[in-house]
Structures are given as C-alpha cells and as structure tokens.
C-alpha cells in the first residue's frame, strides 16, 4: 500500500527523484536532506508502514542486514570510524516523517556526533516492576 500524501512513498517509488544509494524490490536507500554527518542515509521501504509496530516481520528482517552492509561501505569509502542505526517511532521519539525509515549515520570520531541520552538510575525492584508491566503486553 502507498499513501498519496506521504513524501517517503513518493520518494521510495521514484515519483519524486532522489539520489539513490541502493534499490531493490523492497527498499530504496536515499540521503537525508539534513544530514547529521556526511553520508547520512535513510532506508525506506517502498510500501507505506507508519512505524515499526506495523512493519511486516519479513520486511523488518531485511533492514538490519542492509544497514550493516551500508555502514560497512561508509567505513570503507568515507573513512567513518563507526555508524549509528537509528529508528524513531512516534512523535515523542522524534519521528517527523510517518513512513517507517531507518537512519544510518556514519560517525567520524568527533565528540559532538554521538546520539545522546542522559543516563538515569535504576533499582532491582524498579526494573522488576517495569519488566512485569511490559511482559504483560508482550504475549
Ligand atoms: P525522523 O525524525 O522522522 O526519524 O527522520 C526524518 C528524516 O527525514 C529527517 O532526518 C529529515 O531530515 C529527513 N527528510 C525529511 N524530508 C525529506 C525529504 O523530502 N527528502 C529527504 N531526502 N530527507 C527528508
Ligand atoms: Zn509512505
């Protein structure tokens, strides 16, 4: 399924031209318009899925192998020293385009390049409690 109002549907299916790093029947890999670093790419499925919670397992299973190949090529071609694979789900998590996509962000060793969060604290009871809450919905 495609969504007529979705920019990534249009890009992934070639309706809007893009610089394409990789393409197969399932995905198109493009460069982010506002790259975090040189080479920052996005893996887009050609079908419209809002986020990871509705992505078919078969498609999801292909994302990480592809991300790994692209990351390795970034290290070899661009001299990246590592790369982040980032995938945002929901506005609260920073998702701005609501067509599932995976960021591959090469890192060059600069301190301000990290994906950051503020480490918190935990207790064994707190972890057990949250574990039980989530487990109840895992099935
Ligand atoms: P999100 O925040 O949803 O995980 O990431 C969306 C990403 O898509 C952002 O990094 C943004 O720069 C990129 N983006 C938004 N619109 C376009 C576009 O039209 N073309 C390309 N190549 N990237 C886009
Ligand atoms: Zn879409």
Q: Which atom of ligand 1 is nearest to the CA of 103?
A: 4
Pick the ligand that lies closest to the CA of residue 3. 2
Tell me the CA–centroid distance for residue 48 and ligand 2, in Å: 4
Distance 10 CA to ligand 1 centre (A): 13
pLDDT tens profile 35-90: 999 999 999 999 999 999 999 999 999 999 999 999 999 999 999 999 999 999 99
Q: What pLDDT is stored for residue 139 in this prediction?
A: 79
- Beta carbons of 62 and 27 less than 8 angstroms apart: yes
- Please tell me which residue, 116 or 9, carries the higher pLDDT value: 9
Q: Which atom of ligand 1 is nearest to the CA of 95?
A: 3
Confidence of residue 114 (pLDDT cuts 50, 70, 90): confident
Active-site residue (options: 40, 99, 101, 103) = 101
Tell me the residue length of the chain.
Answer: 139
Please state, in angstroms and rounded to a whole number, the distance separating the CA atoms of residues 76 and 97: 30
Report the mean per-residue pLDDT for the chain.
96
The average pLDDT across 3-24 equals 96
Going from the Cα of 59 to the center of ligand 1, the distance in angstroms, rounded, reads 20
DSSP reduced 3-state for 104:
strand
Q: Are 82 and 75 in contact (CB under 8 A)?
A: yes
**From the CA of 4, which ligand is nearest?**
2
Looking from the CA of 112 toward its CB, the CA atoms found within 13 Å total 2
pLDDT band at 105 (very low <50, low <70, confident <90, very high): very high
103 is catalytic: no
pLDDT tens, position by position, 14-24? 999 999 999 99
pLDDT class of 34 with cuts at 50, 70, 90 = very high
Distance separating alpha carbons of residues 30 and 41, to the nearest angstrom = 6
Residue 115: what pLDDT?
84
- pLDDT higher than threshold 90 for residue 29: yes
Give the pLDDT score at 20. 98
Q: Are 92 and 129 in contact (CB under 8 A)?
A: no
d(C-alpha 115, C-alpha 106), whole Å: 11
- Pocket of ligand 1, beta carbon within 6 A: 7, 30-34, 42, 88, 94-97
């Amino acid at each position: 399924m495609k969504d007529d109002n979705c920019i990534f549907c249009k890009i992934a299916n070639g309706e809007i031209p893009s610089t394409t790093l990789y393409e197969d029947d399932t995905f198109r890999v493009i460069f982010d318009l506002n790259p975090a670093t040189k080479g920052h790419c996005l893996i887009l499925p050609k079908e419209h899925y809002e986020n990871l919670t509705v992505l078919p397992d078969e498609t999801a299973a292909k994302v990480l192998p592809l991300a790994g190949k692209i990351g390795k090529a970034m290290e070899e071609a661009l001299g990246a020293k590592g790369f982040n694979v980032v995938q945002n789900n929901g506005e609260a998590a920073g998702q701005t385009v609501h067509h599932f996509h995976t960021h591959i962000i090469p890192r060059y060793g600069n301190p301000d390049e990290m994906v950051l969060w503020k480490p918190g604290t935990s207790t064994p009871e707190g972890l057990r409690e949250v574990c039980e809450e989530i487990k109840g919905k895992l099935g």
